[in-house]
Structure 1
Amino acid sequence: MAHRFRDTIPLSEQQRLVRRSIREICDNFDRAYWRDRAQEGTYPREFVDELIDNGWMAALIPEEYGGAGMETSEVVVMMEEIAANGGGFSAAQAVHGGIYNTVPLVEYGSEELKSELLPKVADGEASIQAFGLTEPNAGSDSTSIETRAEKDGDEYVVNGQKIWTSRVDQSDYLVLVARTTPKSEVEKSTRGISMFLVDLDDALAQGALEMEEISKSVSEFVHSYELWFEDLRVPEEYLIGEEGEGFYQVLDGLNEERLVIAAECVGLGELAVERGVEYANEREVFGRPVGKNQSIQHPLADAHARVQAAKQMTYDAADATGGSSEEIGARANMSKYLAAEACFEAADAAVQTHGGFGVATEYDVERYFREARLTRLVPITQQLALNYIGENVLGLPRSY
C-alpha cells in the first residue's frame, strides 16, 4: 500500500511505534478479508482477536489495571491506521467501542468495579463494546431520553428503549445511560441522568432485555440493535460515578473521542485516495492511463489536499488535549467536520475515477463511499458540529 501518500506529518517516537505495530497487524488482513466481512455481514473476529492479543484493545486502560495507558495523541494514530490499511471506517468502528467504552469506568467507576473488570477487559476475557444512549424519541437531544432507572433497595430497576446500539452481539457489558430523575423534575435538563454498567448475560437471563438487529446498508459487519428493557435489575454497585451526573460524565471524554473519530475519517479518506490513484495509474482508455487526464487528476489531488489538511488539524488538536475544555471542544468539532467532509470528497473522487467499476463490489470504493456518507451523520451530524462552532467559537446566538 502506498504509505507515502499519508506519511506526511512528523510523529513522536511513541506515535511511530504505534503506526508501525498497527501496520504489521493490518498487513495480515488484505482487501479481500474486509470485502468478505462486508458481504457476509460477519464481525471481523480474527482481526479483533489479534488486536486483543497484542494489547491494543486495552489502549486507554491504565497500566495498573493491565492496560497500555495510551494518550489521545497515540490513539488517533492507531485508529487512522486501522481505517487506512484497507478496513475503512467500519473496521475502526468494529473496535472503537471496545476501546472507548472503558473510559467512563476508568474515570468514574468505583475502585472495586475497576479492579474487578478492567483487568479482564485488558486480557480479553471480557468486553465492553456497547454503549446505550440514543433513543427513538430523543436522537441528538440526549437530555430527552426516557429510559428510567428507579432505585429499589440495593438495586436499580430499568425500563425503556434504546436504538442504534452497536456491537451488542460482541459485548459482555453495556454502558447504559438512563434517567434517574424525570426531566420535568430537575432544574436543568442535563441533571438527573446516570450511567450504569449492565451485564448482558444477566439481563437476558432475567428475561428483562429484548433486542432486534437493525438492517442497514453500511458497516455491514458492525451490527446495530434496538433494545427494550423491562424491569431490568441492576446492582447499585454497577452505577458508574455519581447518580444524576451521568450527562456530564458522558461529555467529559466526548471531545477526545471525537478527535479519534476524525482520525478514522482521515484514514478512510487516505484509503480512498490511494485506491483512486492506483486505479488511475493502471486503467488505460484511448491508449493512455486515465490518470493522465486532469479531469481525473484534479479531483484526486484536491481530495488528497483536503484529507491531509484535516489530518494536520486532527493531530494538532490531539497534541493539545491538555488545554481548556472550550479549546478542546472547538478543535474537536472542527476536526470532525473537516475530516468527514474530506473523506466524503475522497471517496466520491475514487468512485468517479473507477467509472462503472466504481459501483462494483470487487473494487471496494463503493463501500468506502457508503462509509464516508455515514461519517457525516455519526457520532454527530455535520450540522451539530457547525452549531457548536457557531455558538462556542464565533459567539453567535444558540440556534437550538
Structure 2
Amino acid sequence: MTTNDQLTSEGITLDDVLQATQAVTSRFGDDYFYKLDKEEGFPHDYIKALMDASLHTVMIPEEYGGMGLGVREASVIVEEMHRSGGVGSMIHGQMFMMGILARHGSEQQKRKFLSEVVAGRMRLQSFSVTEPNAGTDTSKITTKAWKEGNEWVVKGQKVWTSRFDHADAFIVFARTSPPKDPAKPFQGLSCFIADKREVDPKQYTSRKIDAMFNHHTYEVFYDDMRIPEDSLIGEEGNGFKYLLDGLNAERVIIAAECIGDGRWFIEKAVKYANERVIFGRPIGANQGVQYPIARGYAHLEAANALRWKAAEMFDRHEHCGAEANMAKMLASEASWELANACMQTHGGFGLAREYHIERKFRENRVFQIAPISTNMVLNYIGQHVLGMPRSY
C-alpha cells in the first residue's frame, strides 16, 4: 500500500484492502451519516474519498488500470463501510456492474468505460432492471429496444433504479425479441451500457422515489432513448445470463453489507448493555438482554462463513447461485435479528436519533426485500437445490 492510501495492483491482501477502507471510513462517522439522512443528501465527498483510494476499482482487471481482484475483496470494502456506520449502496453497484462489463463486455466497451471509471472521470453506478408491473419476474419486463440504423432505441419504464441522477453511465435491460421457446421466457432479453453524457436528456425522465431511508433511487422513463449500436453487452438476447452472473456477485456483496451492519449493531448493543445501569447493575448482566445479542452473534458468524464460501466460488468462476442466495438470506436475517436486539437493548433511547440506532434500523430492513426477497431465495433453494416442483 502506498503512503497516500491508494492501493496498487501488486501483492494486495485482504488486510491491505481492509486497512485502505478503514483509512477512509475513519474520517466519516455516525454524525456524518446522521446529517446526510436528515437532509436527504448524497455523500459526494465520501464517494470521492473512496475513489481517491482506488477502492472502486477492486473488480476491474489490471489491464484497464484496476486492482484485478474479486468479489472477496469487494465484500471486505462494503462490510467495513457498514460496520463503521455507513452504507455500501453508494459504491457497490459500481463493483458488481464492473463484473458484468469485465466478464461479458467487448474490448472496446472495456477500454472506454473501465478506463474512465479507474481515472475517476466516470461513475458507473446505476442498474436499470426492475419494472413496476414485473417486479421480481424479470421475464415480464416490457421495456423494449430495437435497431434503427446504427443506433438502439430504448422505450419503457423502470423503477428502483438506484443513483440514476448521480451516475454518468448506467446499465439497462430491455427486450429485443420475444422468446423463441415459450418454456424459456428469458430469451430475447438484452443488456446495454449507456454513457448518459452522450444521451439527449430529453429522451429520458427520472423521478426520485421518496423512500423510508436515504437511498437515492429513481423511477425512470425511457422515451425513445437513442444509444450507439456498440452499447449492446455481449450477444443480443442473452442478457439474462449476464444479469444472473452480476446478481451472484451482488448477493455476496449484500451479504457482506449485512455482516457489517450486524457487527455495528453488536458493538452498539454490547457497549450500551455494559454501561447502562438499572436496579443497581449493568443491564447486560440480565439474560433477557444478553441472550438475544449472543444468539444474533452466533447466527451472524454462521452467515459469514457462507459469505466467504460463495465469494471464493464466484471468484473461481464456479456456479454459486445457491451459495450466494443463501449467504444473502442468512446474513440479512441475522443482521435484522441484531437490529431488533440492539433496539430493544437501548429501549426508549433506541428511538432517539442521536443514538443512530433508528437510522441503521431503517437502513437494514431493506435487505429482507431487496435486491431479492427472502421468499424468492427459498423458492430458488426448493426448486434448484432440493429438486421440488416450482412453487410460484
TM-score, normalised to structure 2, is: 0.93
Partner of 1:144: 140
Aligned partner of 2:287: which letter?
Q
1:104 is displaced (CA, Å) by 2.1
Of 224, 245, 267 in structure 1, the residue corresponding to residue 260 of structure 2 is 267
Using the TM superposition, name which of 180-189 and 366-375 deviates more: 180-189
8 A Cα contact 2:97 2:246, kept in partner: no
Secondary structure class of the residue paired with 1:385: helix
1:41 is displaced (CA, Å) by 1.0
Is 1:288 aligned to residue 281 of structure 2? yes
After superposition, where does 1:1-400 map in structure 2 within 5 Å?
14-87=13-86, 91-183=87-179, 188-205=184-201, 207-218=202-213, 220=214, 222-321=215-314, 325-326=318-319, 328-400=320-392
Q: Whole-Å Cα distance in 1 between the matches of residues 230 and 120 of structure 2?
A: 23
Q: Whole-Å Cα distance in 1 between the matches of residues 69 and 42 of structure 2?
A: 25
Q: Residue 179 and residue 13 in structure 1: after superposition, are their counterparts in 2 closer, same or farther (change >3 A)? A: closer
Q: Whole-Å Cα distance in 2 between the matches of residues 45 and 147 of structure 1?
A: 31
8 A Cα contact 1:208 1:229, kept in partner: yes
1:192 is displaced (CA, Å) by 0.6
Q: Whole-Å Cα distance in 2 between the matches of residues 92 and 180 of structure 1?
A: 32
Q: Whole-Å Cα distance in 1 between the matches of residues 306 and 99 of structure 2?
A: 24
- Kindly report the root-mean-square deviation, in angstroms, between the aligned alpha carbons of the 2 structures: 1.7
Q: Whole-Å Cα distance in 2 between the matches of residues 268 and 146 of structure 1?
A: 36
8 A Cα contact 1:52 1:123, kept in partner: no
Q: Residue 39 and residue 322 in structure 1: after superposition, are their counterparts in 2 closer, same or farther (change >3 A)? A: closer
Partner of 2:8: none
1:187 is displaced (CA, Å) by 6.4
Secondary structure class of the residue paired with 1:159: strand
Partner of 1:6: none
8 A Cα contact 2:71 2:315, kept in partner: no
Q: Whole-Å Cα distance in 1 between the matches of residues 350 and 114 of structure 2?
A: 44
**Structure 1: which 5+ residue stretches go unaligned?**
1-11
Q: Whole-Å Cα distance in 1 between the matches of residues 290 and 271 of structure 2?
A: 12
Aligned partner of 1:289: which letter?
P
**Structure 2: which 5+ residue stretches go unaligned?**
1-10
Q: Whole-Å Cα distance in 2 between the matches of residues 377 and 68 of structure 1?
A: 32
Q: Residue 131 and residue 324 in structure 1: after superposition, are their counterparts in 2 closer, same or farther (change >3 A)? A: closer
1:208 is displaced (CA, Å) by 0.7
1:131 is displaced (CA, Å) by 0.6
Secondary structure class of the residue paired with 1:129: strand
Secondary structure class of the residue paired with 1:253: helix
8 A Cα contact 2:204 2:225, kept in partner: yes
8 A Cα contact 1:135 1:145, kept in partner: yes
Q: Deviations over 1:83-103 (max 9, x none)?
A: 11121xxx1111111222222
Q: Deviations over 1:28-69 (max 9, x none)?
A: 111101111111111111111111111111111111111111
Aligned partner of 2:244: which letter?
L
Secondary structure class of the residue paired with 1:243: coil
8 A Cα contact 2:21 2:77, kept in partner: yes
1:24 is displaced (CA, Å) by 1.9
Q: Whole-Å Cα distance in 2 between the matches of residues 386 and 128 of structure 1?
A: 31
Q: Whole-Å Cα distance in 2 between the matches of residues 13 and 237 of structure 1?
A: 34
Partner of 2:5: none
Percent of aligned pairs with the same amino acid: 42
Secondary structure class of the residue paired with 1:86: coil
Q: Residue 24 and residue 41 in structure 1: after superposition, are their counterparts in 2 closer, same or farther (change >3 A)? A: same
Q: Whole-Å Cα distance in 2 between the matches of residues 53 and 391 of structure 1?
A: 44
Q: Whole-Å Cα distance in 2 between the matches of residues 197 and 320 of structure 1?
A: 27
Q: Deviations over 1:199-258 (max 9, x none)?
A: 2233343x110111100112x1x3011011111111101111111111111112322321
Using the TM superposition, name which of 274-283 and 380-389 deviates more: 274-283
Partner of 2:4: none
1:287 is displaced (CA, Å) by 2.5
TM-score, normalised to structure 1, is: 0.92
Structure 1 segments (4+ residues) deviating >6 Å: 184-187
Q: Residue 97 and residue 390 in structure 1: after superposition, are their counterparts in 2 closer, same or farther (change >3 A)? A: same
1:304 is displaced (CA, Å) by 1.1
Q: Whole-Å Cα distance in 2 between the matches of residues 114 and 255 of structure 1?
A: 21
